[in-house]
Chain A
């Protein structure tokens, strides 16, 4: 299975701190994506990193990818209460289904 698995399952931090979430997967991939889900709503795409990339930035987000270890990390810097959500990684190959991990529930306390 390509399934990504995030850890930790839950993370609670204070506003202003950084939050790091990790994702591991099992097979080779073309790209890995991170999504965010606010409670009870659909998922929103955050960032995509291709298999030939090692690091990518978008605003306060930083994603790394280590294909040798089959792992990725998502760093959210200077967190805000509005960052409270569940975060999922998704792995896939061209033309194949995308498999999501169980997610990390992030709580940012004001």
Chain B
């Protein structure tokens, strides 16, 4: 696609429910990142996929968070048993190769009531 696409753009859920956030990276980009950004804060690294290598999951805050990247393209970030502190904007970015600029999607805003 022309850019990184994320869906949904907004998600409101109740505490305890599971949510899935989707990221469609730019076609051909081998690297994919997930970040979380709380209101007025910086970006918190969550997980990084690079080609067929094992993902870097070092930023996932708890075992309620997981992510997959199927076929080296689309990625899904899953948050199980959501908590109010999970409320944030979840940003996805992709990159061609192992270096260079990141291209960001517009983010998925998650609100946990």
Which positions in A face B, CB cutoff 8 Å?
30-31, 33, 35, 40-45, 48, 88, 90, 92, 94-103
Contact = CB atoms under 8 A, between A and B. Distances in A.
B61 interface: no
Interface size class of B (residues with CB under 8 A): 20 to 34
Query: Across chains A and B, which 5 residue pairs bring their CB atoms closest together, nearest first?
Result: A42-B104, A102-B42, A45-B101, A100-B43, A97-B48
Nearest to A44: B104
Contacts, number: 57
A30 B99 contact: yes
Nearest to B43: A100
B41 A102 contact: yes
Given A42-B91, A88-B42, A98 B98 contact: no
Contacts of A44: 104
A87 B104 CA distance: 14
A100 B99 contact: no
B56 A96 contact: yes
B45 A98 contact: yes
Given A31-B99, A42-B104, A100 B50 contact: no
A95 B98 contact: yes
Contacts of A40: 89
